[in-house]
């Protein structure tokens, strides 16, 4: 018999809360969002203002920028519109792989 799921008490199915490797892409890949962070500061002045414009909390944006949770396709589309990112540069902002030091 399975134990009941208690909201807020059971760990998510993908791992233990607090593990920064939980959502690093489907294959464990982490993305480098330094270029995106720079564009956010350039256009909005702060990540908090950008989070407000995106309709998310500062904590959620921070989790996304720190590879704890992934951006959705709709969030990437909205961010591109808000940040005026040309279509041919999307990959440089959202899919630049983090360099792993052995």
Q: 47 or 21, which is more confident?
A: 47
Predicted local confidence at residue 27, as pLDDT? 56
Statement: the pTM of the whole predicted model exceeds 0.75: no
pLDDT digits (tens, 9 = 90+) for 25-73: 455 679 999 999 999 999 999 999 999 999 999 999 999 999 999 999 9
Domains along the sequence of the chain with CATH:
34-94 (1.10.260)
Cβ-Cβ contacts under 8 Å for 94 (sequence gap 6 or more): 31, 33, 36, 71, 76, 79
Cβ proximity of 51 and 57 under 8 Å? yes
Predicted local confidence at residue 47, as pLDDT? 97
Give the separation between CA 72 and CA 4, rounded to whole angstroms: 29
Cβ proximity of 40 and 61 under 8 Å? no
Give the separation between CA 52 and CA 34, rounded to whole angstroms: 20
């Amino acid at each position: 018999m399975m134990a009941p799921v208690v909201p807020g008490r059971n760990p998510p199915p993908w791992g233990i809360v607090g593990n920064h490797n939980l959502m690093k892409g489907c294959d464990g890949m982490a993305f480098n969002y330094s270029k995106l962070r720079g564009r956010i500061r350039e256009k909005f002045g702060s990540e908090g203002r950008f989070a407000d414009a995106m309709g998310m909390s500062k904590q959620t944006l921070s989790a996304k920028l720190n590879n704890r949770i992934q951006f959705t396709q709709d969030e990437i589309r909205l961010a591109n519109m808000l940040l005026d990112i040309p279509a041919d540069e999307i990959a440089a902002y959202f899919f630049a792989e983090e360099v792993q030091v052995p």
